[in-house]
Amino acid sequence: MDIALAITVGGLYAAGIYMMMRRSVVKLLIGLGLLSHAANLLIFTAGGIVRGRVPVVPNGQSQPITEIADPLPQALILTAIVISFAVLAFALVLIYRTYQTLGTDDLDQLKATDT
């Protein structure tokens, strides 16, 4: 399972970076989205894949008795998903406004503010 997830993470990174190399702004954004998915999945994999071991400490105990699935990475991912959702929503509006104002979605045309 870990291997499959590791390959998926690698594939997502590769696809994300490939998309970001394209000239279209929309593809740039899709690439960024893929990149944040890859990072989230990486954290998920890093937390350990354990099936059916609920991280609940029984009543009267101070520690779990058996091995449990680590809940922290999942909490981290939730936070990261919410943040990347907000940021990508902003970026979507940004590229739309840019297209409206500048009339192009080609990154090679957006050079006026460069050196």
Q: Which CB sits closer to another protein, 59 or 112?
A: 112
- Residue 78 beta carbon to another protein: minimum distance, rounded to whole angstroms: 12
Interior CA angle at 59 toward 54 and 62, to 5°?
80
Q: Which CB sits closer to another protein, 10 or 60?
A: 10
Q: Which residues of 104-115 are buried (b: 16+ CB within 10 A; e: fewer)?
A: ebeeeeeeeeee
Which residues of the shown chain bind another protein in the complex (CB under 8 A)? 2, 20, 25, 28, 32, 35-36, 38-40, 42-43, 45-50, 64, 67-70, 72-73, 76, 79-80, 83, 86-87, 90-91, 94-95, 97-98, 101-102, 107, 110, 112-115
Q: Which CB sits closer to another protein, 15 or 110?
A: 110
- Residue 44 beta carbon to another protein: minimum distance, rounded to whole angstroms: 8
